[in-house]
Amino acid sequence: MRPRFLSRGRPRRTALAVAFAAVLALTGLGTVTQQAVAAADPLISASRPVSASSIESANFPAGAVVDGDPASRWASNWTDPSWIQIDLGGTAAISKVELDWEAAYASGFQLQVSPDASAWTSIYSTTTGTGGVQNLAVNGSGRYIRMYATNRATQYGYSLYEFKVFGQVTTGTSGYVLANPQVTGVTPSTYNPPHAYFHEFQANCTANHNLPDDPIVFAGQPGKSHMHTFLGNTTTEANSTLASLQAGSTSCLAPGDKSGYWMPTMYDGDTAVNPVGLQTIYYKSSVNDYTSVRPFPPGLKFVVGSPSATSTQFATDPGFVAGWECGNSYHNIDLPIDCPGGGQVNVRFQAPSCWNGLYLDTPDHKSHMAYPVNGSCPADHPVALPMIEFKMAFPANTANMSQLHLSSGRGFSFHYDFFNAWDAPTLAAMVNHCIIGGLQCDSRGYDETQPSKGAALNAQYLLP
């Protein structure tokens, strides 16, 4: 272990950077480092998988260089050569690298890129490295990037506080889709402001088509999925993208909501049973500090629940609200077989609403989202977004419900998908007026119990 006196203090930020960070903190927009402000491209290495040739001890893991913590660091064994590499999740056009060295730095090293972590191409090389904070303009492309060190400036190993990579990433085989811009530096709010009873608005949309497609789980693979019932955007299919959804039309009352919503199709025997009429999709605050909720980023997508869930998993899922209901039969884990009092079959299920700020999608289509804990978002998913709650109503043949089932299986396999394609100004107006404004709004953003507050949208459900 190297003596502690070799460790330097952290570089001091300029007054301008400190003031800018303070403004961002006050506005709830998170923080941006001085270097990131200067860069034209976003940070693409945050929280990415990292590996290294060696670590000095468990106290100095490789992942420390992408964790955003200026006090944590990676340290190698005292050998040459040594390396540390980052998986960017997809082919990246890299424009800048920041290396933030501890006292044990490299005087000689290369920055290398690779499509497969096997064949490497150098995009930067030096034998006169200076240590400290190095901002290096580079031009390279690859899924993997590594710092390959050949000459130690001290008798010890190599040690980095941060290894930041800036550029643009396309979706790679890993399934990670980076947000642009990313939201970093957010601390989950624990503030508990005075509450109105509601902080919500509705999206009212009809079911408009059924397809064996899933543009999230089986993107670009028509017919690969079990049958889904699609609401909202009328063009949603296996090849849907944010651009295609935004160019499409919608069956929601608000023309600005071109999002794709879909769920497994219900069947009565072999006959599809689609929800009839306008369905209710709530957008709510699920954190105590409703003033911290911000709109969904364009292109965010996720899956809620699981088609492979067991009855216990369905009943204990954090999104579970009331299970299946029909007539006077409530809280059913599976589809009810009778409907005392008659009516329709209803289900309600809530989505996670805390985002990690980094990815619009992840390989499991869930890990970038999380449910709040005790009224606050967890530290690794600090960005509070609206909580979506599906409230679906299916017509029922109350004389015989024994043949009801979902395309995904039993009733406890219910799940749904969301692909955000809202018009950004429209969504922002609804979130600000209704959720942050503490109102119980309809799909116009109007609270009939507080008419003096007005509506976010006009009579045509458009921005005034």
In whole angstroms, give the CA distance from residue 304 to residue 366. 8
Assigned token pair, 463: 């921005």
> What single string gives the DSSP state of each residue in 31-79?
---HHHHH-SSPB--TT--EEES--SSTTS-GGGGGS--TT--EE--S-
Confidence label for 1 from pLDDT (cuts 50, 70 and 90):
very low
Instruction: Kindly report, residue by residue over 382-438, the tens digit of the pLDDT.
Output: 999 999 999 999 998 777 888 999 999 999 999 999 999 999 999 999 999 999 999
In whole angstroms, give the CA distance from residue 330 to residue 322. 7
In whole angstroms, give the CA distance from residue 67 to residue 61. 11
DSSP state letter for 144: E
Predicted pLDDT of residue 172 = 58
Residue 226: pLDDT over 90: yes
Task: Please state, as a whole number, how many other Cβ atoms lie within 10 Å of the Cβ of residue 401.
Answer: 17
Sequence letter at residue 273: V
Q: Which of 428, 190, 187, 169 is nearest to 296 (CA)?
A: 428
Predicted pLDDT of residue 353 = 98
Q: Which residues of 30-66 are buried (b: 16+ CB within 10 A; e: fewer)?
A: bbbbbbbeebebbbbbbbbebebbbbbeeebbbbbbb
By the 8 A CB rule, do 419 and 238 touch?
no
Instruction: Kindly report, residue by residue over 296-322, the tens digit of the pLDDT.
Output: 999 999 999 999 999 999 999 999 998
By the 8 A CB rule, do 96 and 137 touch?
yes
In whole angstroms, give the CA distance from residue 20 to residue 34. 9
By the 8 A CB rule, do 265 and 210 touch?
yes
* 3-state percent breakdown (helix, strand, coil) of the chain, nearest 5: 15, 35, 50
Predicted pLDDT of residue 216 = 96
Predicted pLDDT of residue 12 = 35
Interior angle at CA 428, CA 442 and CA 210, nearest 5: 65
In whole angstroms, give the CA distance from residue 170 to residue 253. 33
Predicted pLDDT of residue 40 = 61
Assigned token pair, 357: 């700020």
Predicted pLDDT of residue 171 = 56
Alpha helices in 206-347 (DSSP H): 242-247, 311-316
Q: Which of 5-19, 250-264, 350-364, 434-448 has the lowest mean pLDDT?
A: 5-19
Confidence label for 174 from pLDDT (cuts 50, 70 and 90):
low
271 CB contacts (<8 Å, ≥6 apart)? none
In whole angstroms, give the CA distance from residue 384 to residue 354. 5
Instruction: Kindly report, residue by residue over 121-137, the tens digit of the pLDDT.
Output: 999 999 999 999 999 99
DSSP state letter for 380: T
By the 8 A CB rule, do 104 and 168 touch?
no
Question: What's the average model confidence in pLDDT over 85-106?
Answer: 93
